Amino acid sequence: MQAEELDPEVLKRYAFTVWSYKQGEMVSLMIHIGDRLGLYQALRGEGPMTARALAGKTGLQERWLLEWLKGQAAARLLNYHDGDRFELTDIGAAVLADELESTAFAAGAFSGQTPPETVDKLVDAFKTGIGLSYEDLGPNAAHRTERMLGPWTRRELIPNILPALDGVVEKLSKGAVAADVGCGGGIALTTMAQAFPKTQFHGYDPSRHAIERCREKVTSLGLTNVELHVAGGEALPATPTFDFLITFDCIHDMTQPGKVIESIRGCMQEDGTWLIKDIRSAADFKENMRNPLLAMFYGFSVSACMSSALSEPGGAGLGTLGFNPQVARDMVTAGGFSRFVEHDFADPSNLYYEVRP
Ligand SMILES: C[S@@+](CC[C@H](N)C(=O)[O-])C[C@H]1O[C@@H](n2cnc3c(N)ncnc32)[C@H](O)[C@@H]1O
């Protein structure tokens, strides 16, 4: 059919949908620049601010700031006031500025454009079937993942999540042996190690970039109860070792999740607990379509999660949305665990499973 024969209104709406994703790409880059230059922190609590005042506060160029501020107002992220004054509201600050204080913080997820060589490799992956591991994605990806997933973990893990698990806080307080498998940059690991100094913690991740970030944190916090291993969940101790073990947002990234689950079973004490955090999803795609951010999750999957889970021949390729409650229950049962309790901590992106031998 020729373009002239198509319904012009429907064509316009469809083209608008496509251009809105291009707009998203541009606004994403602007959020990254704002985050990197500390502009949201500089705007926080100031009320309506001119580009000149922002330049005075940050030492940056007024003309560049004015263009950025106008773009942020156009994106509805800043409020516009007469006299070219721009305001970051308290709500805006919670999402864009308050990394340590707010579980809603999101600016850390915006790490700029994907490097062209990574895009080339992803295009190739569609032909070869073999994706990129987190290690292949480089240090920037490890940093972005940590900043994206860290706020919720940092604020909720100790006060709200661990106390809901049967007997775990008591054990960790007295002194136990615990592991974070797929620990990434180590926010959960170091948060727990600080809270429970009598427990010895082990962090495992096959990505050297991730373990490097962990190591920096462990050193800067002066933690003496953490040991780090550049190794995947396939290489856990073969004898019962851990009283508590977590896997946060990583089973769906693994090439051999079934093998790792068996390996976790083998290293758990008989009265141990395994806490899984994984993406909130359903087995039914139509049900998932109710999630207004679903397309973003599929983007994460192709560019990182499924890619990692297919980074070796024969990889399981679960991907971001592939470890739903049904799959989780079936796989951990097949791996030799008998108790499975689903927890909903109102984390908008994740569900939690308390699993025991
Ligand atoms: C999305 S990140 C999550 C990191 C961290 N748990 C967090 O919550 O911030 C997924 C991590 O799983 C790791 N990973 C991939 N395959 C793995 C495997 N076989 N065993 C352990 N970790 C693995 C990746 O290297 C990456 O650091």
Q: Which domain holds residue 304?
A: 116-356
Q: Which ligand 1 atom sits nearest the alpha carbon of residue 150?
A: 9
Quickly list H helices, the chain.
Answer: 8-36, 39-43, 51-58, 62-74, 90-96, 116-128, 134-137, 139-156, 168-174, 187-195, 208-221, 257-267, 285-288, 294-300, 306-309, 325-334
What does the block give as tokens for 293? 């951010």
The pLDDT value given to residue 127: 96
Q: At residue 4, does pLDDT exceed 90?
A: no
- Asked whether residue 207 falls in the same domain as residue 339, the answer is yes
Model pLDDT for residues 288-327, shown as the tens digit of each residue: 999 999 999 999 999 999 999 999 999 999 999 999 999 9
Q: Which of 69, 71, 110 is nearest to 87 (CA)?
A: 69
Give distance in angstroms: CA of 206 to centre of ligand 1.
8
- Average of per-residue pLDDT across 252-278: 98
- Asked whether residue 35 falls in the same domain as residue 142, the answer is no
Residues 6+ apart with CB under 8 A from 18: none
The pLDDT value given to residue 152: 94
* Number of structural domains in the chain: 2
Q: At residue 114, does pLDDT exceed 80?
A: yes
- Asked whether residue 265 falls in the same domain as residue 172, the answer is yes
pLDDT band of 111, cuts 50, 70, 90: confident
Angle at the Cα of 159 from the Cα atoms of 158 and 164, rounded to 5 degrees = 90
Is 8 inside any structural domain?
A: yes
- Asked whether residue 159 falls in the same domain as residue 94, the answer is no
The pLDDT value given to residue 81: 98
Share of the chain above pLDDT 90, in %: 96
8 A C-beta contact, residue 158 and residue 195: yes
- Asked whether residue 99 falls in the same domain as residue 122, the answer is no
Distance from C-alpha of 331 to C-alpha of 309, rounded to nearest angstrom: 16
The pLDDT value given to residue 29: 94
Length of the chain: 357
Q: At residue 112, does pLDDT exceed 90?
A: no
Distance from C-alpha of 202 to C-alpha of 180, rounded to nearest angstrom: 6
- Asked whether residue 60 falls in the same domain as residue 156, the answer is no
8 A C-beta contact, residue 211 and residue 203: yes
- Asked whether residue 168 falls in the same domain as residue 270, the answer is yes
Q: Judge if the beta carbon of residue 253 lies within 6 A of ligand 1.
A: yes
* 221: number of Cβ within 10 Å: 14
The pLDDT value given to residue 253: 98
Distance from C-alpha of 91 to C-alpha of 106, rounded to nearest angstrom: 12
Q: Are strands 350-356 and 200-205 parallel, antiparallel or unpaired?
A: unpaired
Is 32 inside any structural domain?
A: yes
Which of residues 74, 103, 132 is at a domain's end?
103
- Asked whether residue 187 falls in the same domain as residue 89, the answer is no
Give distance in angstroms: CA of 320 to centre of ligand 1.
12
Q: Are strands 339-343 and 177-181 parallel, antiparallel or unpaired?
A: unpaired
Question: The domain spanning residue 145 has which CATH number?
Answer: 3.40.50.150
The pLDDT value given to residue 113: 83
- Asked whether residue 272 falls in the same domain as residue 158, the answer is yes
The pLDDT value given to residue 80: 97
Is 181 inside any structural domain?
A: yes
Share of the chain above pLDDT 70, in %: 100
Q: Which ligand 1 atom sits nearest the alpha carbon of residue 182?
A: 22
pTM over 0.85: yes
Give distance in angstroms: CA of 338 to centre of ligand 1.
25
Q: Judge if the beta carbon of residue 182 lies within 6 A of ligand 1.
A: yes
Quote the mean pLDDT of the chain.
96
- Average of per-residue pLDDT across 275-280: 98
Which of residues 71, 103, 135 is at a domain's end?
103
- Asked whether residue 230 falls in the same domain as residue 319, the answer is yes
Give distance in angstroms: CA of 208 to centre of ligand 1.
11
pLDDT band of 141, cuts 50, 70, 90: confident
Is 111 inside any structural domain?
A: no
Is 110 inside any structural domain?
A: no
Is 247 inside any structural domain?
A: yes
Closest residue to atom 4 of ligand 1, CA basis: 184
Question: The domain spanning residue 75 has which CATH number?
Answer: 1.10.10.10
Q: At residue 2, does pLDDT exceed 80?
A: no
Q: Which ligand 1 atom sits nearest the alpha carbon of residue 255?
A: 19
- Asked whether residue 122 falls in the same domain as residue 69, the answer is no
- Asked whether residue 197 falls in the same domain as residue 337, the answer is yes
Q: At residue 87, does pLDDT exceed 80?
A: yes
Is 109 inside any structural domain?
A: no
